[in-house]
């Protein structure tokens, strides 16, 4: 029982730490201990990012831990798994379920193979199934933004009417530590929330449904965990009452009280003495090193009843994957009219779509709220990739945060000097919308805000409506497309200056 | 829990209990609406123009040349009559530097942090209860406050530096037909005993120069980009509303090209001068004449302000003292 409490403590602690990391992924940022490290833990992201050296080390550490302890990450650390445990605890399904054995667990391996194949075909789809990113997207774009905006609104109404000393104190503290002093907006966040919530609905059918059948990260880890050193010992049990089989949330325990090693997430459910009729306690202990274990050979009969797939399943999955591959090869290009400005440090559309894991780090960390996830504008393989939207913000000239938080280097780590010279778009004056060019009113807000030392927006005098007026024009060789001119342009509707992608 | 809810719905209620529950519900609904109306009522507060104390300085304008900003700041305020003239014991002082841009101090886009800190220290020494420092920034506020060095300097000096809160912008009671009617004003800038304006001298594409009158834009809220339309009329209205007690123009490093944002060390000129005056128009005229050799008559908002009687543009008539340290 003690180990169960210990596990719950570790699980909640890691959940809190992960939420803390995700919450404080904002300026001022710690350059090493930030949430990017968390995403690099996942070997799936390493595969997706084409085995980049930077993302490799934490993933290898996780694989080593998995080799020693088994799928301890899934049961003890994974934030999405913790969410599932919490949800199934509150729905009460946790206790009612009667599990029957066997169940096919092969789907997740199949999905993993399909995703790797698609990645090889330049259609990276890991972002849809990677559990840490699913959790992070739900956290950033639903929970964090809602909490931030609601508390901002609450304080706004409270403080503008009843500014008392206590409320003021609470407000000052929460403003300096917890919430941001601005309203956040994220487009397409509903689609992300749907992907976050769907696997939780699956919990109505089975506990940890996602982890059993779908999770590609779980599949990678279970391949390693099949040979892990820590093992469950239950050979002495003679009762075969089936209690621990029903308790197991992964449905890893067979009828004869043995278990499938790679399915076990070490949730310690089967170590509850109180539930066991014979007061027999199953144990986890380290097995001897593999070298000593060589003589012991597996029972050939056992192998036959493994998790193989039938011909029918094979064919159906072949058709499904053929469909995916068809989409991958066919439907890649987005519409060319879409004016998508990518954050600085990306090298080409295809490279970004390949490497981007859609964790939302860059979008959340953006100090001006300028980065937004796109939907279908850049093609089916570009869903939720970041773009700079001048309606909500702009690219701060001396800021390189998005490259520093990208776990897969889809946005490269730039120094401030490099970033100042990185061109992401070109501003164009809209002469029939600009108030100076069209109406002859002096404005020059774009020139004032232009961050380039030599000013990419320059001023000349022109005769408009019979009067000599100062009007802006663009020096295209200097403009880097940071979009601050479009963002700050006071003209309503169509802006007088619009940044176009390269 | 769901079972208990079922119980609640399945039991039969007598008329008495029904009425009890109904009246309880109605009462709570009534109370909550009354209370919430109190809590969430729309503000109708309007700011009145700031009441300025009548301060007579020894001379109209002081300019100090030198290398040590801190001693220059002390000297300049002493020559105007001492900080005690402006700040009385227990006063709430607002200092409005220029923290508009995300630039380091040496690029001369923001007010020199040493000067701001020196003024904060002087105010605290004179017995000010609280010294507030803020600006409505153009770039991201956290980066501006940090990279300009002002946040750190003010905190070390003991001042109170904060980001402007959304709820402290109130509609302001400008005179009728004022161009500024649609723009709210930050209430702290008005509800204070002493307002010290510390701009930095920079060029500006639109208004030619940005000096102490233009620096007051930082207390305005709303869509500040549209403020640039007809800005020459709007800035004097803000000046008449705020009426700063003291203006200290930071001319230690000035931008001579590509203002107001700068970014090139080649555009920065070290002029090593501070200009202080209780009269914002006079300070601006003197600065534009001496630092940029531009006749203040040619700068729209200074001329407008002088015409509306907010100060004198005539440098030759004014009592001006210059010092060298």
ipTM for the whole complex: 0.85
pLDDT digits (tens, 9 = 90+) for A351-377: 888 889 999 999 999 999 999 999 888
Tokens of B45: 């507060």
Nearest CA to CA, how far is B112 from chain A (Å)? 19
- CB of A156 less than 8 A from some CB of B: yes
pLDDT at A206: 80
Q: For CA atoms A47, A49, A52, A56, give the dihedral sign.
A: negative
Tokens of A178: 């917890």
B263·A488 Cβ contact <8 A: no
Which residue in chain A is spatially nearest to B103 when comparing CA positions? A398
- CB of A435 less than 8 A from some CB of B: yes
pLDDT digits (tens, 9 = 90+) for A241-251: 777 777 788 88
pLDDT digits (tens, 9 = 90+) for B237-260: 999 999 999 999 999 999 998 878
B142·A27 Cβ contact <8 A: yes
pLDDT at A3 over 90: no
- A395/A411 Cα distance (integer angstroms): 14
- A365/A357 Cα distance (integer angstroms): 16
Best mutation target among B1, B37, B143 (most A Cβ atoms within 10 Å) is B143
pLDDT at B39: 60
pLDDT at A303 over 60: no
pLDDT at B134 over 50: yes
CA atoms within 13 A on the CB side of A122: 9
pLDDT at A36: 86
| Closest C-alpha to A86, from A8, A3, A183, A164 | A8
pLDDT at A293: 42
Lowest mean pLDDT among A257-261, B181-185, B273-277: A257-261
pLDDT at A304 over 60: no
pLDDT band for position B129 (cuts 50, 70, 90): very high
| Closest C-alpha to B187, from B52, B47, B53 | B47
Nearest CA to CA, how far is B311 from chain A (Å)? 26
B140·A161 Cβ contact <8 A: no
pLDDT at A302 over 50: no
pLDDT digits (tens, 9 = 90+) for B50-68: 988 888 888 999 999 999 9
Mean pLDDT of A21-36: 85
CA atoms within 13 A on the CB side of A378: 22
Q: Give the rounded distance of the alpha carbon of B97 from its chain centre.
A: 7
- CB of A159 less than 8 A from some CB of B: yes
- CB of A289 less than 8 A from some CB of B: no
pLDDT at A291: 44
pLDDT at B210: 92
Unique residue bearing structure tokens 């009417």:
A161
| Top mean-pLDDT range of A274-283, B32-41, B280-289 | B280-289
Which residue(s) pair with A253 in the sheet? A259
Q: Which residues of B touch A (CB under 8 A)?
A: 38-41, 43, 102-103, 138-143, 146-147, 163, 165-168, 204-206, 223, 225-226, 228-230, 258, 260-264, 267
Mean pLDDT of A280-292: 58
Q: Would you say B134 and B219 are in contact if contact means Cβ atoms under 8 Å apart?
A: no
Q: Average per-residue pLDDT in chain A?
A: 84
| Closest C-alpha to B119, from B243, B239, B250 | B250
pLDDT band for position A275 (cuts 50, 70, 90): low
A453·B267 Cβ contact <8 A: yes
pLDDT digits (tens, 9 = 90+) for B253-311: 999 988 788 888 999 999 999 999 999 999 999 999 999 999 999 999 999 999 999 99
pLDDT at A348: 85
Nearest CA to CA, how far is B32 from chain A (Å)? 15
pLDDT at A314: 76
B206·A490 Cβ contact <8 A: no
3-state secondary structure A324-384: HHHHHHHCCCCCCCCCCCCCCCCCCHHHHHHHCCCCCHHHHHCCCCCEEECCCCCCHHHCC
B263·A158 Cβ contact <8 A: no
Lowest mean pLDDT among A4-18, A161-175, A282-296, B301-315: A282-296
Burial of residue A56 (CB within 10 Å: 0-12, 13-18, 19+) is middle
Q: Would you say B275 and B251 are in contact if contact means Cβ atoms under 8 Å apart?
A: yes
A28·B142 Cβ contact <8 A: yes
| Residue numbers in B near A453 (CB within 8 A) | 258, 262-264, 267
Q: Least CB-CB distance to B204: which of A162, A399, A448?
A: A448
pLDDT at B5: 60
pLDDT at A488 over 70: yes
Output the CA–CA distances (angstroms, integers) from residue A391 to A496, B51, B138, B216, in the order listed: 13, 39, 16, 27
Count, residues in chain A: 502
Nearest CA to CA, how far is B39 from chain A (Å)? 6
The CB density around residue A301, as the number of other CB atoms within 10 Å, is 7
Nearest CA to CA, how far is A93 from chain B (Å)? 13
Q: Least CB-CB distance to B205: which of A161, A444, A488?
A: A444
A367·B142 Cβ contact <8 A: yes
Mean pLDDT of A423-438: 92
pLDDT at A295: 44
pLDDT at A292: 39
Mean pLDDT of A299-312: 56
Mean pLDDT of A449-464: 91
pLDDT at B8 over 70: no
Convert A212-240 to b/e letters by CB count within 10 Å (16 or more is b).
bbbbbbbbbbbebbeebebebebeebeee
| Top mean-pLDDT range of A80-84, B181-185, B313-317 | A80-84
Instruction: Tell which wins on pLDDT, B147 or B166.
Output: B147
Q: Would you say A38 and A31 are in contact if contact means Cβ atoms under 8 Å apart?
A: no
Lowest mean pLDDT among A44-53, A491-500, B188-197, B210-219: A44-53
Q: Average per-residue pLDDT in chain B?
A: 89
| Residue numbers in A near B206 (CB within 8 A) | 442-445, 447-448, 470
Residue A146 phi/psi, 5-degree rounding, is: -65, -45
pLDDT at A301: 46
Which residue(s) pair with B249 in the sheet? B275
Mean pLDDT of B111-132: 94
| Closest C-alpha to A429, from A493, A502, A486 | A486
Instruction: Tell which wins on pLDDT, A106 or A319.
Output: A319
A368·B140 Cβ contact <8 A: yes
Instruction: Tell which wins on pLDDT, B42 or A496.
Output: A496
Best mutation target among B44, B166, B218 (most A Cβ atoms within 10 Å) is B166
pLDDT band for position A378 (cuts 50, 70, 90): confident
Q: How many CB pairs under 8 A join A and B?
A: 97
Q: Least CB-CB distance to A459: which of B103, B147, B205?
A: B205
Q: Would you say B40 and A157 are in contact if contact means Cβ atoms under 8 Å apart?
A: yes
Instruction: Tell which wins on pLDDT, B1 or B192.
Output: B192
* Contacts with B280 (C-beta within 8 Å, 6 or more apart), sequence order: B197, B212, B213, B216, B239, B244, B247, B305, B310, B311
| Residue numbers in B near A448 (CB within 8 A) | 204-206, 228, 260-261
- CB of A456 less than 8 A from some CB of B: no
Burial of residue A157 (CB within 10 Å: 0-12, 13-18, 19+) is middle
Lowest mean pLDDT among A44-58, A257-271, A291-305: A291-305
Mean pLDDT of B137-149: 92
pLDDT at A287: 63
**3-class secondary-structure state, position A110:** helix
pLDDT at A299 over 60: no
Which residue in chain B is spatially nearest to A168 when comparing CA positions? B165
Mean pLDDT of B15-30: 89
| Residue numbers in B near A181 (CB within 8 A) | 141, 163, 165
Q: Would you say B65 and B323 are in contact if contact means Cβ atoms under 8 Å apart?
A: yes
Tokens of B139: 């770039």
Q: Least CB-CB distance to B167: which of A156, A459, A489?
A: A156
Q: Least CB-CB distance to B143: which of A175, A367, A443?
A: A367
- CB of A438 less than 8 A from some CB of B: no
pLDDT at A77 over 90: yes
- The pLDDT > 70 percentage for chain B reads 94
- B28/B32 Cα distance (integer angstroms): 6
Nearest CA to CA, how far is A160 from chain B (Å)? 5
């Amino acid at each position: 029982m003690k180990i169960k409490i210990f596990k719950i403590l570790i699980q909640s602690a890691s959940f809190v730490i992960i939420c803390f990391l995700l919450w404080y992924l904002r300026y001022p940022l710690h350059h090493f201990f930030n949430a990017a490290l968390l995403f690099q833990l996942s070997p799936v992201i390493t595969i997706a990012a084409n085995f980049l050296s930077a993302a490799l080390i934490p993933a290898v550490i996780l694989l080593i831990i998995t080799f020693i302890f088994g799928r301890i990450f899934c049961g003890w650390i994974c934030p999405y798994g913790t969410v599932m445990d919490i949800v199934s605890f509150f729905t009460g399904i946790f206790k009612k379920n009667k599990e029957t054995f066997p169940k096919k667990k092969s789907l997740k391996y199949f999905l993993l193979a399909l995703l790797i194949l698609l990645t090889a075909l330049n259609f990276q789809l890991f972002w849809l199934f990677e559990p840490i990113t699913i959790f992070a997207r739900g956290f950033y774009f639903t929970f964090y933004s809602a909490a931030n905006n609601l508390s901002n609104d609450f304080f706004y109404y409270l403080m503008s009417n009843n500014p008392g000393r206590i409320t003021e104190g609470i407000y000052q503290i929460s403003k300096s530590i917890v919430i941001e002093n601005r309203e956040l907006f994220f487009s397409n966040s509903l689609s992300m929330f749907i992907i976050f919530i769907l696997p939780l609905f699956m919990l109505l059918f089975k506990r940890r449904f996602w982890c059993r059948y779908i999770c590609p990260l779980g599949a990678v880890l279970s391949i390693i965990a099949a040979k892990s050193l820590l093992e469950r010992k239950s050979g002495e049990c003679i009762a075969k009452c089936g209690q621990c089989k029903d308790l197991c949330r992964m449905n890893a325990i067979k009828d004869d009280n043995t278990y499938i090693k790679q399915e076990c997430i070490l949730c310690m459910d089967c170590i509850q003495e109180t539930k066991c009729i014979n007061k027999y306690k199953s144990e986890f202990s380290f097995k001897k090193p593999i070298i000593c274990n060589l003589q012991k050979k597996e029972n050939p009969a056992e192998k036959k009843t493994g998790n193989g797939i039938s011909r029918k399943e094979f064919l159906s999955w072949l058709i499904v994957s053929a469909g995916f591959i068809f989409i991958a090869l066919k439907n890649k290009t987005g519409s060319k009219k879409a004016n998508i400005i990518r954050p600085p440090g990306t090298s080409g559309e295809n490279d970004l779509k390949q490497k981007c894991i859609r964790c939302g780090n860059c979008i959340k960390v953006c100090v001006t709220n300028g980065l937004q996830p796109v939907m279908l504008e850049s093609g089916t393989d570009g869903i939720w990739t970041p773009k700079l939207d001048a309606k909500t913000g702009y690219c701060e000239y001396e800021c390189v945060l998005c490259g520093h938080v990208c776990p897969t280097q889809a946005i490269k780590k730039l120094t401030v000097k490099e970033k100042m010279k990185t061109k992401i778009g070109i501003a164009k004056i809209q002469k029939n919308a600009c108030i100076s060019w069209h109406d002859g009113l002096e404005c020059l807000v774009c020139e004032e805000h232009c961050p380039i030392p030599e000013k990419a927006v320059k001023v000349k005098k022109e005769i408009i409506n019979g009067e000599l007026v100062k009007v802006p024009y663009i020096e295209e060789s200097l403009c880097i497309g940071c979009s601050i001119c479009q963002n700050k342009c006071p003209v309503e509707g169509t802006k007088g200056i619009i940044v176009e992608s390269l | 829990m769901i079972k208990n809810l079922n119980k609640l719905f399945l039991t039969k209620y007598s008329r008495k209990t029904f009425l009890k529950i109904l009246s309880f519900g109605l009462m709570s609904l009534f109370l909550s609406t009354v209370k919430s109306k109190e809590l969430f009522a729309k503000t109708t507060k309007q700011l009145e123009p700031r009441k300025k104390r009548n301060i007579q300085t020894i001379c109209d304008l002081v300019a100090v040349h030198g290398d040590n900003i801190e001693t220059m700041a002390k000297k300049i305020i002493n020559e105007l009559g001492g900080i005690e003239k402006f700040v009385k014991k227990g006063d709430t002082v607002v200092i409005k530097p220029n923290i508009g841009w995300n630039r380091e101090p040496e690029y001369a886009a923001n007010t020199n942090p040493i000067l701001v800190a020196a003024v904060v220290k002087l105010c605290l020494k004179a017995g000010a209860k609280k010294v507030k420092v803020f600006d409505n920034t153009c770039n991201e506020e956290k980066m501006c406050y940090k990279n300009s060095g002002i946040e750190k300097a003010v905190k070390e000096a003991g001042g109170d530096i904060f980001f402007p809160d959304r709820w402290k912008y109130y509609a302001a009671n400008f005179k009728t037909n004022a161009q500024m009617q649609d723009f709210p004003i930050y209430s702290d800038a008005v509800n204070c005993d002493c307002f010290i304006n510390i701009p930095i001298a920079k060029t500006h594409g639109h208004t030619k120069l940005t000096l102490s009158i233009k620096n007051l834009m930082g207390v305005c809220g709303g869509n500040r980009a549209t403020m640039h339309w007809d800005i020459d009329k709007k800035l004097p209205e803000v000046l008449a509303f705020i009426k700063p007690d003291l203006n200290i123009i930071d001319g230690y490093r000035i931008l001579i090209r590509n203002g107001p944002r700068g970014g090139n060390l080649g555009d920065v000129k070290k002029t090593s001068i501070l200009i202080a005056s209780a009269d914002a128009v006079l300070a601006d005229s003197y600065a534009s004449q001496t630092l940029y050799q531009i006749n203040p008559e040619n700068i729209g908002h200074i001329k407008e302000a002088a015409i509306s009687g907010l100060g004198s543009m005539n440098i030759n008539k004014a009592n001006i003292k210059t010092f060298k340290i």
